[in-house]
Amino acid sequence: MADKTYQEVLSWASSFLEAREKEGYAILYVFLARKKWSKTDWLLHMNEIMSQNEYEQLQNDLNQLLNDYPPQYLLGYEEFYGRYFQVNAATLIPRPETEELVEWCLQKTAKQKNEQLHVVDVGTGTGAIAATLKLERPAWRVEAVDISQKALITAQTNSQTLGAEVKFYLGNTLAPVHQPIDILIANPPYISPDEWKVMGASVRKYEPKLALFAENEGLANYQKIAQQAQAKLAKQGSIFLEIGYTQGAAVEQIFQEKFPQKKVQLKKDLAGNDRMLLVH
């Protein structure tokens, strides 16, 4: 490489990926993140000459992306609700749909923001849900559970880095929790093993299967949570869940049967799919 501008190199790299049926924008996303540049910075500097060290880093990143390695794992973090969370092969990469779940929870419980509610996040992964709720609602007593020890280590690191006081438990769904729960929130594994073939290559290759798949057509964890929550949810407690886009009716039925006295409400995400459920 000799005297090539940032724009020239990134344009070539993007076209290189697209020609191989990969996401072309991914290389610019990684490049800007490594430089800590905003899109405005990019516009200001795009016609400057790229250094040899930068070019070598870009080539390494390009090779990883060519092999479907997730950009977030390359960088080691993902943004969630305006904060940065460490991610790695032990954790699912936080998605925008989960931000929508957190936002819905905060909206629906706005009148209780100063109450000392007992909040439990099931299948915490990176700890993004638990830490965000604690930081947005300092009065709440937030606990989080995960079946993966490696994921819990990452979640604890994220909470400590962000200054979020969350108590973590190793265990299966609600098994480690004993005190009545005011707000139960979860983004559990909900993908059916039958859906393996239609999933993206990067998800299949690198994201933890433990955090993705569930038996009974992806419904097993909802069934377990509903069963356990009967004994552990406070009388006036609420349940907020992320669900698969085809699971609305099935998950609604599971929780309506277990909580006939409560209202079960589905909510669509920004793409217009049923992706959230509230029991209250």
Which amino acid does the sequence have at 107? Q
pLDDT reading at 2 higher than 70: no
237 near 180, Cβ under 8 Å? yes
Question: How far is residue 161 from each of residues 152, 154, 277, measured CA to CA in Å?
Answer: 14, 11, 30
Beta pairing partners, 183: 119, 238
Is 135 in a helix, a strand, or coil? helix
pTM score of the predicted model? 0.92
pLDDT of 36-48, one tens digit each? 999 999 999 999 9
pLDDT of 90-147, one tens digit each? 999 999 999 999 999 999 999 999 999 999 999 999 999 999 999 999 999 999 999 9
Take residue 110 and report the two structure tokens written for it.
């706005």
Q: List the alpha helices (DSSP H) in the chain.
A: 6-19, 25-35, 39-45, 52-66, 71-75, 96-108, 128-136, 149-162, 201-206, 215-218, 220-232, 248-258
User: At 192, is the pLDDT very low, low, confident or very high (cuts 50, 70, 90)?
Assistant: confident
pLDDT of 50-71, one tens digit each? 999 999 999 999 999 999 999 9
pLDDT of 195-225, one tens digit each? 777 678 887 788 787 777 778 888 999 999 9
198 vs 180, more confident: 180
